Amino acid sequence: MRTFENLDKLTILHYPNPILKKASAPVEEFGEELVQLSQRMLELMKQEPGIGLAAPQVGILIRLFVCNVTGEPDDDLVFVNPRFTELTGAVDCEEGCLSVPGVNVTKRRASHAVIEAMDATGRPFQMSGIDLLARVWQHETDHLDGRLISDTMSTADEIVNRRAIKQLKEEYAGGRPAPRG
């Protein structure tokens, strides 16, 4: 069983950290360590505050993400080895990202999604989501595949976000964390 050491020291990586561009490996072992990692990721997500967080965003290249679009503790969700079985509809909406702070882009995403995954203990499940929930699932799955919202910005989004992207690059090169907010 893989152990995830120093969970209390996990932090959210920021663009342009190269780890964020790498595809994640499927999870093959389940157990208490994966449950603890999921819980720590939910804590980090809520501290920011965010509504989704993928394992690559904390430097762990496995196919795992967490989300909660309502903020209610009972709505915490953990997805291990997720895959979409249905994506329908299309809607353009503005998105932000905890790993690209200060940057918002307009993204076209499916408005309805059906996803199959496992929980942190390895139990399989299927869920259907619409609108924001479907969008979050697609956003976090992009992270598992090494894709960021900044990868497909429109020309207008590039212009609007030029300063924030430049600042993130400078702070990464200087070894300082990016500002929050």
CATH code for the domain of 46: 3.90.45.10
| CA separation for the pair 61, 38 (Å, rounded) | 13
* Average pLDDT along the chain: 93
Residue 146 in tokens: 């090494």
Share of the chain above pLDDT 90, in %: 89
Domain containing residue 96: 7-173
Q: Is residue 38 part of a domain?
A: yes
Q: Is residue 50 part of a domain?
A: yes
Question: How many structural domains is the chain composed of?
Answer: 1
- E strand or H helix that includes residue 94: strand 91-95
Q: What is the mean pLDDT of residues 36-53?
A: 96
Q: Which of 8-12, 58-62, 97-101 has the lowest mean pLDDT?
A: 8-12
pLDDT for 180? 45
Q: Is residue 179 part of a domain?
A: no
| CA separation for the pair 176, 161 (Å, rounded) | 20
The answer on pLDDT for 1 being more than 90 is no
More confident residue, 176 or 137: 137
pLDDT for 174? 85
Q: Is residue 66 part of a domain?
A: yes
Q: Is residue 51 part of a domain?
A: yes
pLDDT level of residue 159 (50, 70, 90 thresholds): very high
Instruction: List, for residues 80-109, the tens digit of each pLDDT value.
Output: 999 999 999 999 999 999 999 999 999 999
Neighbours of 30 (CB within 10 A): 17
Of 5, 32, 43, 140, which is the active-site residue? Answer: 140
Q: What is the mean pLDDT of residues 60-79?
A: 97
Q: Is residue 70 part of a domain?
A: yes
The answer on pLDDT for 3 being more than 90 is no
- Please confirm, yes or no, whether 94 is among the known catalytic residues: no
Q: Is residue 47 part of a domain?
A: yes
Q: Would you mind telling me the total number of residues written for the chain in this entry?
A: 181
Q: Is residue 181 part of a domain?
A: no
Share of the chain above pLDDT 70, in %: 94
Report the predicted TM-score, pTM, of the whole model to 2 decimal places. Answer: 0.92
